């Protein structure tokens, strides 16, 4: 049995918030999804670590994160592409483990999912994030930061839209972000599911799938007309089933769309 499995057998206390699009990077004037993420933290103010690996640790992306989150939490960031540039960055595996364990929320940015997975595995961050999740942390992210938590899905990491098969597998399903934001996403995801890819979830921009442990608790949105779907192959045909979506800006929180 691995160290993580000895550590805690079930991630029942942890959360994953998988955003098809939105958050501070796509909706700088709409904090609804980011507020939802912060609200899940066990500690207030939350310690929030932004991980911009998928964007090659783009400096402008990091600046936008701090501008969006300063004053709302205790923000920090973790860079792996140029880890020696900042003295405050953890240098050794033991330092990285301690650093991740201190965080309440890990917020993963968008970009190249394939590169993200390679670098995380090289540094052992995949193992540390699973441990943090098992201990009750909130794992959140947009686009690549959505897709990484699943077994696979649809990515543009390889130049065009292609299937990805080596996600972290925290969630036993596949995923497709930007379902309404890029015309070919919907067609590509349905095609790869028809060709044998595991069933999963699709989320429009502005929509987040909230998992408690490995169970889908609810779907929330920052936009009134944004949706999520269960996509699966049934009887030889790809079926797209709308999921109930709670608009976070609704005056009546009991009103759901998409069901």
* List of residues 6+ apart from 65 with CB closer than 8 A: 24, 25, 50, 52, 75, 77, 107, 109
- Catalytic-role residue among 55, 178, 210, 221: 178
Query: Cα–Cα distance between 140 and 180 in angstroms, integer?
Result: 20
The pTM of the full predicted model, rounded to 2 decimals, is 0.90
Distances (CA, A) of 18 to 140, 209, 216: 6, 5, 10
Give the integer Cα–Cα distance in Å for 201 and 75. 30
Q: Could you say which DSSP state residue 15 is in?
A: E
| Residue 183: predicted pLDDT | 84
Point out the catalytic residue in the list 41, 55, 143, 222. 143
Is residue 210 flagged as an active site residue? no
For 247, the token pair is 């608009």
C-alpha 217/C-alpha 133 separation (Å) is: 16
pLDDT tens for the chain, 259 residues: list them. Answer: 333 333 444 555 799 999 999 999 999 999 999 999 999 999 999 999 999 999 999 999 999 999 999 999 999 999 998 654 444 566 566 789 999 999 999 999 999 999 999 999 999 999 999 999 999 999 999 999 999 999 999 998 887 888 999 999 999 999 999 999 888 999 999 999 999 999 999 999 999 999 999 999 999 999 999 999 999 999 999 999 999 999 999 876 555 555 5
Q: Which residues contact 244 (CB under 8 A, 6 or more apart)?
A: 218, 219, 256, 257, 258, 259
User: Would you give the DSSP letter of residue 70?
Assistant: B
Question: pLDDT value at position 92?
Answer: 62
- Token pair, residue 242, equals 């709308």
pLDDT value, residue 161:
87
How far is C-alpha 135 from the chain's CA centre?
Answer: 17
- Ordered structural domains, the chain, with CATH: 3-257 (3.40.50.880)
What's residue 200's pLDDT? 98
| Predicted pLDDT of residue 235 | 94
- How many other β-carbons are positioned within 10 Å of the β-carbon of residue 142? 31
Active site annotation includes 165? no
Do the beta carbons of residue 145 and residue 19 sit within 8 Å?
yes
Calculate the alpha carbon distances from 231 to 10, 12, 81, 189, 243 in Å. Answer: 26, 25, 35, 8, 10
pLDDT value for 143 = 96
- Tell me the residue ranges of DSSP E strands in 101-149: 105-108, 138-142
Q: How far is residue 88's CA from residue 98's CA, in Å, rounded to a whole number?
A: 13
Q: Angle 27-155-75 (CA atoms, 0-180°, nearest 5)?
A: 40
Are 75 and 104 in contact, with CB atoms under 8 Å apart?
Answer: no
């Amino acid at each position: 049995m691995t160290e993580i499995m000895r550590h805690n057998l079930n991630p029942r206390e942890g959360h994953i918030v998988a955003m098809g699009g939105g958050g501070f990077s796509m909706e700088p004037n709409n904090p609804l999804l980011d507020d939802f993420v912060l609200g899940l933290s066990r500690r207030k103010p939350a310690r929030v670590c932004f991980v911009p690996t998928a964007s090659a640790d783009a400096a402008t992306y990091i600046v936008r994160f701090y501008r969006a989150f300063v004053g709302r939490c205790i923000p920090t960031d973790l860079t792996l592409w140029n880890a020696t540039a900042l003295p405050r960055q953890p240098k050794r595996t033991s330092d990285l483990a301690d650093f991740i364990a201190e965080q309440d929320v890990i917020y993963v940015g968008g970009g190249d999912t394939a590169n993200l997975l390679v670098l995380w595995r090289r540094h052992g961050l995949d193992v540390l994030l699973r441990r943090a999740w098992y201990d009750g942390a909130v794992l959140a992210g947009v686009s690549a930061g959505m897709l990484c938590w699943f077994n696979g899905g649809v990515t543009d990491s390889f130049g065009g839209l292609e299937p990805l098969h080596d996600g972290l597998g925290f969630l036993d399903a596949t995923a497709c972000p930007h379902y309404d934001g890029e015309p070919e996403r919907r067609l590509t995801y349905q095609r790869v599911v028809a060709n044998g890819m595991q069933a999963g979830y699709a989320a429009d921009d502005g929509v987040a799938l909230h998992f408690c442990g490995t169970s889908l608790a609810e779907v929330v949105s920052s936009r009134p007309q944004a949706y999520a779907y269960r996509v699966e192959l049934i009887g030889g045909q790809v079926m797209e089933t709308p999921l109930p979506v709670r608009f976070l800006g609704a005056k009546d929180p009991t009103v759901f769309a998409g069901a």
